[in-house]
Amino acid sequence: MAIKQLSILIPNQKGALAELTETFCEADIDIRAISVSDTTEYGILRTVVDDSAKAIKCLADKGIIAKESEILAINPEDKRGSLTAIFKLLGENDINIDYIYSFVVRKKEDQYFVLKVDDIPKAEKLLEENDVEVIRSL
């Protein structure tokens, strides 16, 4: 089961990220993972929140468009080469990784990774068959 992620275009200017996250805070929406890639004028914020439908609505109420997509979250073994093995496994099975970012779960010492891939069901099955922990919810 894939996890829902929101992608939001935000201005690349001081305070824009604070304003957006404050919107979530005011609506009692918890951010589970977050990543921002920048361009000259805009940033693409990717986030996993505890209630994506509520987040989309509260952003829409402020005139902000959020695109929802499905991603995988994994908890690879904490040893040298584990990510390389996962990347090779996916590539050898014709699954492309569009992007990746990491996050930490509160009250745990594990580091998790978000993967945006072009075939989520196939990737999930393949990873689980190869003993990679696929996270079902954040």
Question: Using one digit for the tens of pLDDT, what is the confidence trace for 67-84?
Answer: 999 999 999 998 999 999
Q: Which domains does the chain have, with CATH numbers?
A: 3-70 (3.30.2130.10), 72-135 (3.30.70.260)
Give 41's pLDDT tier (boundaries 50, 70, 90). confident
Give 138's pLDDT tier (boundaries 50, 70, 90). confident
Helix axes 16-26, 52-61, angle to 10 degrees: 120
CA distances from 54 to 24, 39, 122 (A): 9, 28, 29
Biggest CA-to-CA distance, the chain: 45
For residue 26, the model assigns a pLDDT of 95
